Amino acid sequence: MNARDEMATLAGDAAGRSGLYGALASAFTYDGAARSALAIPGAVFNEAFDPSVCRTACSLREGSYADVDQSALFEELMRFYGFFGLGREERAEMPDHLSVEFQFMHFLAHLESRSAGDAEALGSLARAQRDFLQRHLRRAVHGVRGALKSADPRCIELVETASDFVDREIERLAQA
């Protein structure tokens, strides 16, 4: 079974989606990529995704693909995070980093899995997920997908899996 098949299987419920978002959040970090199912070595990860190390690498930051002021983007992201009681530690990744955005969706899907039976909470969480995916995560993953220059099949599969998952989630939430 490849990553996309596993994704389709896990995405069937909120707990599975939460797990997928968490796995993607980890896989888009230097340490997490090596521990992921794709086992992307650090040097390969840097070559593909760290422009400070390799000039042909694509950025994992949404701001690289947004036609908005960085401070306005950060402000909007921090409002999303803050609304759900989340903040940012001083040494954490920037709020527009793909791993942070996937981690936020992991958190929202986790809240959804714990809100079974509460129609009001489920509706609010579905709207938050839809809005965040449409306004931020889709732009980030599509930007990375379009900018990826690495020929490494593991990096390509990671980016395509993430992009496909985000697109499927947007479709699912549009029907909710």
- The residues spanned by each domain of the chain are 3-174
- How confident is the model at residue 5, as a pLDDT? 60
**Residues of the chain with pLDDT > 90: what percent?**
85
Report residue 101 as tokens. Answer: 């955005």
Mean pLDDT (the chain, rounded): 93
Say how far apart CA 30 and CA 72 lie, in whole Å: 27
What pTM did the predictor assign? Answer: 0.93
- How confident is the model at residue 35, as a pLDDT? 93
- Identify which has the larger pLDDT, 6 or 43: 43
- How confident is the model at residue 168, as a pLDDT? 96
User: What would the mean pLDDT of 36-40 be, rounded to a whole number?
Assistant: 93
Cβ burial, residue 31 (10 Å; 0-12/13-18/19+): exposed
CATH T-level fold of 3-174: TorD-like (1.10.3480)
Is residue 1 predicted with pLDDT exceeding 70?
Answer: no
- Identify which has the larger pLDDT, 112 or 1: 112
Tell me how many degrees the CA angle 148-66-14 measures, rounded to the nearest 5: 75
